[in-house]
């Protein structure tokens, strides 16, 4: 029985770590679409926002 509990704790810890990691990497999950993710301005490269202000706005809005 003790082994099962240890295993469950281990899995819980792993899930927690993964969630924290995912939260930290949230902005990196955003895919470049060719348009600013905040204001939809057309971009000619692989940037995801036209400028840092748009990135900040987007992060504040929490759109994922
Ligand atoms: Zn923009």
pLDDT in tens, 5-52: 888 888 888 887 777 566 566 666 688 999 999 999 999 998 999 999
> How far is ligand 1, taken at its centre, from the CA of residue 27, in Å?
15
Give the HSE-up count for residue 29: Cα atoms under 13 Å, Cβ half-sphere.
Answer: 10
For residues 60 and 50, which has the higher predicted lDDT (pLDDT)? 50
SS3 state of residue 40 = coil
Look at residue 11 in the predicted model and tell me its pLDDT.
85
Look at residue 23 in the predicted model and tell me its pLDDT.
58
> How far is ligand 1, taken at its centre, from the CA of residue 52, in Å?
8
Look at residue 13 in the predicted model and tell me its pLDDT.
86
Look at residue 63 in the predicted model and tell me its pLDDT.
53
Look at residue 2 in the predicted model and tell me its pLDDT.
72
| HEC sequence for 4-21 | HHHHHHHHHHHHHHHHHH
Q: Are 33 and 47 contacting, i.e. CB atoms less than 8 angstroms apart?
A: no
């Amino acid at each position: 029985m003790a082994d099962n509990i240890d295993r469950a704790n281990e899995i819980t810890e792993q899930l927690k770590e993964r969630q924290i990691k995912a939260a930290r990497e949230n902005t990196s999950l955003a895919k470049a679409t060719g348009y600013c993710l905040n204001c939809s301005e057309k971009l000619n490269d692989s940037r995801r926002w036209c400028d840092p202000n748009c990135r900040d706005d987007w992060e504040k809005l929490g759109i994922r």
